[in-house]
Amino acid sequence: MQLATKDLTPDQEKILKANFVQDGPLYQVQDLHPMLDCACAPEPRLHSDPPEASTLLAQNLSVPFPAKLREEFFGGILYDTGAHRTYMLNHDAFTILGGIKEQPQTGRQLIGKLGEDRGLGTLQYLVGAGLIEASQEAVPMQFFGARNNSLGYLQSPIIVEVEVTYGCFRTCKHCAYESSPDARRPDELTAPQWAKIFQKLADAGVLIVQLTGGDPLFREDSFDIVQAASDAGMSVYVRSDTAALSPANVRRLKNLPNLWHVGTSMDGADAEEHDWMRGKGAFATLQKRIEILAEAGIDVAVGATLHKNNYASVRRIGQAAKTFGAKWFDIGFLSPVGRGVQLRDLVLDGGQIRESLDMYLEGIRKEEYVPSHAHYLRRAQMEEPFKDLAGLVEKMPYLTEWPFSRLRLDPTGSSYTAGKLKGSDYAGGFNLTSTDVDYVWDNSPNLVQLRELGAGGRIHSLDYRLLRSSHEFMD
């Protein structure tokens, strides 16, 4: 099946070629930090045999789950709001799905101007993948048309990370934000102010809001902020140390209609390894909180920051996380930023990074744990899983986001793109309390500069050591 594209600029064609692989009428992101592949690992696609063409063309068809549909330069994005799953569509798939955004249509109506030769195969694929099924009733689907199809990035972010506060119950040795119990800013936005920003983001087509910090649950009004994010209609991902959780506020989280999951960190397979980084008693507290969340039916993703003292334990960390009740296990790499500058000697070299990745994938193959990003499932089945990323693997501790798909907000509502750039020349941006989302996304100085540097390359491949800045970690 040929890629369905139309009127792409050379830069857009370069972006597609460099960052996406084709799976029928869908795109998959190929990178080590796949923020476009931002839904947790999906259940296997059905790929059932669709009905005969004559039956399919005559049937009334609809999307079988509540969804959002966004137009993009390459086609569009279908977002399953219940499963929190993102599907990247080519133009033909977007055209077909766009035909049923209000009510069921027959297969013949859906392929419309595409014609049977071009549209029938795409329709059959979408039915076989479970994205369309026979139905007489429409399931709610919110539609967002393109603002400007000449953009070399998404019409709006898929995910916005919100730093609710720099306050945290712990003072971890590697924290990029130098968070601590005393690190709160006096000008942090209030819960009502965040509620207004969340509604702005939702209206602009943002699909996911990730609440982080510091610890987003450190504030007295933290759960009001989480509630406001859910009320705006976006999927909510809470990234927390979990120290603040209790049975009462876990029940409050469980009752949020748009809660996706809770993410937390586990930097050792036992108390000795984990507490060295995060403080005495942290491991025991983490185990109890994961168990409480799992018992409540809230999905938990655990991430490990790997360094010289713990990378050999990566599989044991994942095994322990699964035993505690975590649904997903991910890895990242210590970066010498923030307080992490004091741990430069513990940053993994290229060989150790490759070794840790190989061990991590082996654990996936052995079904010891499940990654939260589907691309790791794909790579685990490859003979040479990182061949296409040969030039990037050794730079993993230093890579930062090219702002194609995500935005980050500090505790005052100002925009930037990556935690590793905090305090650098690339950290300044516009504030969403007074500026529209579209304007910030298109014109914020830091985002514009980084897009120019990215120049259509890999989505998450900017080495922050190459960026001009007076900040210590850029030296």
Lowest mean pLDDT: which of 206-220, 365-379, 396-410, 448-462?
448-462
The pLDDT of residue 171 is above 50 = yes
pLDDT for res 402: 73
Paired residues of 71 in beta bridges: 76
Rounded CA separation 94/87 (Å): 10
CA angle 364/235/158 to nearest 5° reads 80
Q: Is 79 helix (H, G, I), strand (E, B) or coil?
A: strand
Which tens digits make up the pLDDT trace of 408-418? Answer: 999 999 998 87
Which tens digits make up the pLDDT trace of 452-474? Answer: 887 777 777 778 887 755 344 44
pLDDT band per the 50, 70, 90 thresholds, residue 98:
very high
The pLDDT of residue 217 is above 90 = yes
pLDDT band per the 50, 70, 90 thresholds, residue 116:
very high
pLDDT band per the 50, 70, 90 thresholds, residue 298:
very high
* CA distances in angstroms from 350 to 5, 34, 342, 376, listed in the order given: 37, 20, 20, 19
pLDDT for res 61: 95
Domains of the chain: 10-144 (no CATH), 159-474 (3.20.20.70)
pLDDT for res 43: 52
Contact status, residue 159 vs residue 85, Cβ threshold 8 Å: no
pLDDT for res 462: 79
pLDDT band per the 50, 70, 90 thresholds, residue 360:
very high
pLDDT band per the 50, 70, 90 thresholds, residue 3:
very low
Which tens digits make up the pLDDT trace of 420-431? Answer: 887 777 788 899
Which tens digits make up the pLDDT trace of 24-67? Answer: 899 887 776 655 555 554 554 555 677 889 999 999 999 999 99
Annotate 395-459 with DSSP letters as a single string. GGGGEE--SSSEEEE-TTSBEES-GGGTTSTT----BTTTS-HHHHHHH-HHHHHHHHHHTT--T
With a CB cutoff of 8 Å and minimum separation 6, the contacts of 70 are 76, 77, 79, 143, 144, 155, 156, 205, 207
Calculate mean pLDDT across residues 69-79.
Answer: 95
Q: 8 vs 206, which has greater pLDDT?
A: 206
The pLDDT of residue 136 is above 90 = no
67-72, strands of its sheet edge to edge = 20-23, 26-29, 85-89, 75-80, 67-72, 141-144
Which tens digits make up the pLDDT trace of 172-203? Answer: 999 988 999 999 999 999 999 999 999 999 99
The pLDDT of residue 151 is above 50 = yes
Give me the chain's average pLDDT, please: 89
pLDDT for res 144: 97
Calculate mean pLDDT across residues 288-301.
Answer: 96
In the numeric block, which tokens belong to residue 294? 């799992």
pLDDT for res 34: 58
pLDDT for res 390: 81
- CA-nearest of 305, 270, 311, 312 to 287 is 270
